[in-house]
A and B are shown apart, each in its own frame.
Chain A
Amino acid sequence: MDQELKIELSKHGIFTTTFEELYNWGRKNSVWPLTFGLACCAIEMIATTMARYDLARFGAEVFRASPRQADLMIVSGTVTKKMAPQVVRLYNQMPEPKYVIAMGACAISGGPFRDGYNVLKGIDRYIPVDVHIPGCPPRPEALMHAFITLQKKIDAQQLTGEERPRHLKANEPSEFPVPEFGEHGLEPAQNPDVFHPLRILGQ
């Protein structure tokens, strides 16, 4: 619809919208995160939900303890190799549409603990990540910024067409293989369908 006509109509008390806008408006303002803390970043995540930063302003204060009721997984902290299968399993248990925020340097790449033998070098080796927040740990403001970024991302998602998101495509996977404990590390070390590291090619 023509924007000017829309504004003109609203002046007369008639509000028009599209189904897509309404749908995304509802979704983006009621993102329910999973109660899921891994390490130091989890404390900052709790601080974000407390009175001072008040995540409730973004409609995201309802932390759900069950993955079946959650829309968003905040990977808040170091994912170790021992924990990684559980993280993937929890992700698989969440219903679509689902989103992932990788909070902090460890969740992105292993961060300061990257050299550790039991540390996974980034959760994006096994599950797709929507928003990355750098920091060690990121401040609560940074987490809120990540929320707003995620809200913008949800708002821009189309219901139809080739550009529609993963959860609306029937043949796209909603679950990813859970890595297994091997003798020296996780097997496989990454999921090549998900993990596309940036490579600087040539010189």
Chain B
Amino acid sequence: MTQAISVEEIKAAMEAAVPGCRAEILRNESPSAQHSLLIDHEHAVNVAAFLRDDMALRLDFCSCVSGVDWPDREITEKVKVKKTVTTPEGEAQEQDVEETRKTMIPGFLEAVYHLFSIEKKHGPVVLRMRTVNRGGDARLPSLTPVWRSAEFQEREAFDLYGIVFEGHPDLRRILMWEGFADYPMRKDYVPPAEDDVEAVAK
């Protein structure tokens, strides 16, 4: 699995071919070194079609589509702040005070596409898209019109994560039944309590 073309080159080619598209390279620090490209919503379908049809890239095979859940995170950091403190002698004095500051990083849902080229035999090229939030705006453009292999996997991400893929031809629940209310693969999913009836020592 060699990455014949680097992500920087792909990003440059993408931005040249699809005017206005914004892509960001996300580094992967693990030994696999499979870096990914975060692309924006508006141009996603055009970018995907470019990647598929470009003669140098020919990423004709979308292998794997995964949903990922990133819930709200709270980062606690210690910051040194200059503060004016009144000393016991009654003088105002500037001092360095350590403060804990909490930053809330809003959560989002992510779809990860692993692309390969059957014709050129290279890959993987990893595409990512992120939703605005995990609630009502969990929407992404569907890439099924470009790669049909995404059809069932996007449905699965919709079913288990609640990502609404706009432009998907047949977006229904796929593994759970119609009428199921939860998104069970999300990190904050709690299974119903009735399941805990079991032989327990009292």
Q: Which of B35-43, B77-85, B109-117, B192-200 contacts A (4 or more CB under 8 A)?
A: B192-200
A175 to B200, CA, bound (A): 30
CB contacts (< 8 Å) of B182 on chain A: these are 183-184
> Are the C-beta atoms of A185 and B176 separated by less than 8 Å?
no
A161 to B155, CA, bound (A): 57
Q: Give per-residue flags for B24-39: 1 if the beta carbon is below 8 A from chain A beta carbons, else 0.
A: 0000000000000000
A184 to B201, CA, bound (A): 27
- From 14 to 67 in chain A, residues with beta carbon under 8 angstroms from any chain B beta carbon are none
> Are the C-beta atoms of B176 and A82 separated by less than 8 Å?
yes
A202 to B202, CA, bound (A): 6
CB contacts (< 8 Å) of A200 on chain B: these are 199-202
* Interface: A198 (CB within 8 A): yes
> Are the C-beta atoms of A185 and B195 separated by less than 8 Å?
yes
* Interface: A199 (CB within 8 A): yes
> Are the C-beta atoms of B179 and A189 separated by less than 8 Å?
no
Out of B176, B189, B195, B199, name the residue touching A199 (CB < 8 Å).
B199
Q: Give per-residue flags for A176-191: 1 if the beta carbon is below 8 A from chain B beta carbons, else 0.
A: 0000011111000110
* A115 CB, nearest partner CB in chain B, Å: 8
5 more CB-based (< 8 A) A-B contacts, given A181-B179, A182-B179, A185-B194: A121-B195, A183-B179, A189-B195, A199-B202, A201-B202
Q: Give per-residue flags for B173-198: 1 if the beta carbon is below 8 A from chain A beta carbons, else 0.
A: 00111011110100001011011011
Out of B177, B191, B192, name the residue touching A82 (CB < 8 Å).
B177
Q: Which residues of A contact B (CB under 8 A)?
A: 82, 117-118, 121, 181-185, 189-190, 197-203
CB contacts (< 8 Å) of A198 on chain B: these are 199
* A39 CB, nearest partner CB in chain B, Å: 15
Max chain B C-beta neighbours (<10 A), residue from A184, A197, A201: A184
CB contacts (< 8 Å) of A121 on chain B: these are 195, 198
Interface extent on B, as a size class?
Answer: 10 to 19
A190 to B194, CA, bound (A): 9
Nearest B residue (CB) for A120? B195
Out of B175, B191, B194, B198, name the residue touching A197 (CB < 8 Å).
B198
A201 to B201, CA, bound (A): 6
A184 to B195, CA, bound (A): 11
* A190 CB, nearest partner CB in chain B, Å: 7
28 examples of A-B residue contacts, CB within 8 angstroms: A82-B175, A82-B177, A117-B189, A117-B191, A118-B184, A121-B195, A121-B198, A181-B179, A181-B180, A183-B179, A183-B180, A184-B180, A184-B181, A184-B182, A184-B192, A185-B192, A189-B192, A189-B195, A189-B197, A197-B197, A198-B199, A199-B199, A200-B200, A200-B201, A200-B202, A201-B202, A202-B202, A203-B202
* A136 CB, nearest partner CB in chain B, Å: 19
CB contacts (< 8 Å) of B179 on chain A: these are 181-183
- From 102 to 151 in chain B, residues with beta carbon under 8 angstroms from any chain A beta carbon are none
CB contacts (< 8 Å) of A201 on chain B: these are 202
> 4 closest pairs, A vs B, by CB?
A189-B194, A183-B181, A184-B192, A117-B184
* A201 CB, nearest partner CB in chain B, Å: 6
CB contacts (< 8 Å) of B189 on chain A: these are 117
Max chain B C-beta neighbours (<10 A), residue from A117, A182, A185: A117
Nearest B residue (CB) for A82? B177
* B103 CB, nearest partner CB in chain A, Å: 32
* A127 CB, nearest partner CB in chain B, Å: 17
A181 to B191, CA, bound (A): 15
